[in-house]
Structure 1
Amino acid sequence: MARNPEKKRCKARSKQRDEQCKNWAKPGWDVCRFHGAGGGAPQRNTNAVKTGEFQSIWMDALTPEQAEVLETISLDPLQQADEEIRLITLREREMLLRIRDLNAGRTDKQRRILQKRATIKDPIKVDDEKTGGTKTVVLTREELVTAEIEETEYRAIEDILAVEEALTRVQDKKLKAIQLKAQLLSNGGGPEKQITVRRWSRDKSRT
């Protein structure tokens, strides 16, 4: 059997020569082994996950720990709303503490000190056994010394305003979660009555 029955060249381009690669493509691939054929991360890997906000979660690829946590999650709308309110309130408190710390440590100037390693010579007197007197010996040592001091204007108020702006968005989410809980309670505390009301409204609009 031929090593490359498809007789395809690698479709990748060489960065050095700016021309198409001349190697044979690996069977089942459009590129050769030097350009990623048969390599790379496995499917459904999480190498590119940064915040997890848009991470794809596959039910058949859950770890035992994830599957156990999934079973403990309540689908009750009221419990979901309560949990959301608690988490947002905790985040709100942490942001308020950050604003407090920024206000406490606010300063108009920030000092930048540049240090460098220098050779320091220390002359010391020692006893001379040959002459019976004393002589001066120079000892050298390495030490970090201040080479430059730079003071720059620093306005912590910009950081405070940024946190306050984010806090406003968090508080808006909290308000929506509270409104959702109030709506659920007014509908009887569960999704069944809410669905019934919606269906009744649709049926009534048809008559």
Structure 2
Amino acid sequence: MTRPLLVCALLASPFLLGACDRVFQRPADVPEAPVETPAETEAETGPDLPVRPETVTAGSSIDWEAARRDLAARPLEEREASFSIQSGGDAPPVPVFLPSAPVSVQGGETAIRFQPTSDGYYAFFPGDAYDIIVNGTNVVFLAPGETPQPRAETYTFAPTTTGASVTFSRYGADYLVEFECKVFTAGQPNCITEDEALAFARDLALSGTR
């Protein structure tokens, strides 16, 4: 910078001094264009999500003839000793499975709640160590264009945050048996084993049909 400054100092003309000012004048700051990051782009346009086909619901086909045949095969004294519901046209839209014997609660009392629904039924059985909920439904979830397929009559156990559950299918309907524990160990439900839950579900008795 020393030589240019000396040159301007030696030039006496005001016009030449103005030229020196222009030579050493700093250019105006030009704002830089913001750099668009991938995160900002995604926030503005949204991430690309996979397109999944919407599921549809359908009513399954119930084998009422087989259900009526199996209900009639139960001994009369066994049916009278257990909890049963009204059969016929006013019965729920699925065959009803309930415990083969009343579930007792503390004090020896039995408090059972049974409620038919538009697609099946709901039943509640309180117990000392756990409460039992049984649901039956004729609704299946399908992909568009898919038709209901026969399901295997297998019993599937699964632990839950409140206890355990068992699912199975019979006569074309689906059933869910839930065990809600009243006993917890270290914050985890501890009231029924897998073998006990499966045995209870398998022992449910056909108690009503159309």
TM category, shorter: under 0.3
Larger radius of gyration: 2
Q: Quick check: which one's strand share is greater?
A: 2
Give TM-score, length-normalised by structure 1. 0.17
Give TM-score, length-normalised by structure 2. 0.17
Q: Quick check: which one's helix share is greater?
A: 1
